[in-house]
Amino acid sequence: MQLKLGRINITDIKFGDQTKVEKGVLYVNKEQVLAAVADERLTNISLELAKPGESVRILPVKDVIEPRLKVEGSGGVFPGFISKVEMVGSGTTLVLSGAAVVTTGSIVGFQEGIIDMSGPGADYTPFSKTCNLVVVCNAPEGLSQHEHEAAVRMVGYKAAATIAEAARNAEVDSWEEYQHLNLYEGMNKYPQLPRVAYVYMLQTQGLLHDTYVYGVDAKRILPTLMSPTEMMDGAILSGNCVSACDKNTTYHHLNNPIIQDLYERHGKDLNFVGVIITNENVTLADKQRSSNFTAKLANMLGLDGAIISQEGFGNPDTDLIMNCTKLEKQGIKTVIVTDEYAGRDGASQSLADADSLANATVTGGNANEVITLPAMDKVFGSSKTADIIAGGFDGSLAKDCSITVEIQAITGATNELGFNKLTAREI
């Protein structure tokens, strides 16, 4: 499979008479987008703009989506939802790089998040640096949470697909090409290099903790092998209402830095053979089944090493350790990528599960650290939800409209793909 990504750099976003890109500015026709995203399940939908450096807070954040447009090859954007269920991962896709659609409005689940476009909170989220079309969706009383989530999810995809049409005639600033050979060709091309795969754990615990693969809820799948270019082309989408700090939004799935870094080293010091996607389960039997299948696939691929990332914390820590230990016992060296919930003082056990074989770990940071976010001039969504979102507490929202929360409440703050702003230093 061979995928070309044409990146069109967006440095500003404005409302205009037509949706287009001109000299790095994305102009959005408000009426066109609202017509495209209309959903009878919602009471009203409105559009706002949030730019880097502005005194703007978005709360509660449901999803973040990068606008992309398929112009050549099979499939289309967001397969299983916007386009038909055809294989993606090859051909040509245009990307409005630097732009994002952010969905917000009346809260779906308590595990939603905050994006501040300026101030100390902006340093914890990558989406303070994107030019955001904010889609505010409000639902009527009595709408079930699952219907509410589905409605907001589809509104986000439709908005992203609509504004991505601006890329069709825009000038491309840079091109990237990614190739994924079949197993036979890949083995023969780089026989001297260690064989490495990526084990991509998807949040699938239900109760609004859902991820979709070609439109299928991933809790219904068994672990399977995929080309990394499929993820880069929209095969995996977020339906999650999980803690904001380590939620993989749709934007994260499209721009997974582990996949990008493995491609950087592919053919140089390792042979990147593919991605094993697996789910995070609730029952012990399901955890055992999925981790067994993951280990079986890793063995069939003849792996020397694997990187394993998780999404979420607590219950999924067990899936993470199961996947890690079963690969290690087969002689496959692993690195796990996670984050920590070590208490506000950092003194508690970081993960809910552990094993001595999990001895190579990358951390996205401690989600329990506390921060005070100053008041903003504008709030898109509702500040009142600060008292009930994960990471907040009764009294998080002060009278002066500042918010004191754990960084757990900030979208992407401790992302377990490494798509965040935290780093480490020696002390």
pLDDT per residue over 289-313, tens digit each? Answer: 999 999 999 999 999 999 999 999 8
Q: Which of 48-57, 234-243, 249-258 has the lowest mean pLDDT?
A: 234-243
- Find the mean pLDDT for residues 134-142: 95
pLDDT of residue 422: 82
Residue 280 confidence (pLDDT) above 90: yes
Residue 424 confidence (pLDDT) above 80: no
pLDDT of residue 88: 96
What is the band of 420 on the pLDDT scale with cuts at 50, 70, 90? confident
SS3 state at 320: helix
Burial letters for 152-183: b for 16+ Cβ neighbours within 10 Å, e otherwise? bbbbbbbbbbbbbbbbeebeeeeeeebebbee
Q: Which of 131-140, 193-202, 412-421 has the lowest mean pLDDT?
A: 412-421
Give, in degrees to the nearest 5, the angle at Cα 235 between 233 and 241: 115
User: Which amino acid, one-letter code, is at 359?
Assistant: N
pLDDT of residue 1: 87
Strand pairing class (333-340; 56-61) = unpaired
What is the band of 187 on the pLDDT scale with cuts at 50, 70, 90? confident
- Spatial CA neighbour of 47 closest among 34, 57, 59, 60: 34
Residue 361 confidence (pLDDT) above 80: yes
What is the band of 213 on the pLDDT scale with cuts at 50, 70, 90? very high
pLDDT of residue 367: 93
For residues 248 and 12, what is the distance between their CA atoms, to the nearest angstrom?
A: 25
The one catalytic residue among 241, 245, 324, 401: 241
For residues 56 and 379, what is the distance between their CA atoms, to the nearest angstrom?
A: 6
**389 to 103, 116, 139: CA distances (angstroms):** 16, 15, 18
pLDDT of residue 113: 94
Q: Can 137 be counted among the known catalytic residues?
A: no
What is the band of 188 on the pLDDT scale with cuts at 50, 70, 90? confident
pLDDT of residue 389: 92
Report the predicted TM-score, pTM, of the whole model to 2 decimal places. Answer: 0.96
Burial of 2 (0-12, 13-18, 19+ CB in 10 A): middle
SS3 state at 122: helix
pLDDT of residue 108: 87
Q: What is the dihedral angle through the alpha carbons of 313, 318, 320, 321, rounded to the nearest 10 degrees? A: 130
- Spatial CA neighbour of 251 closest among 408, 104, 78: 78
For residues 196 and 154, what is the distance between their CA atoms, to the nearest angstrom?
A: 35
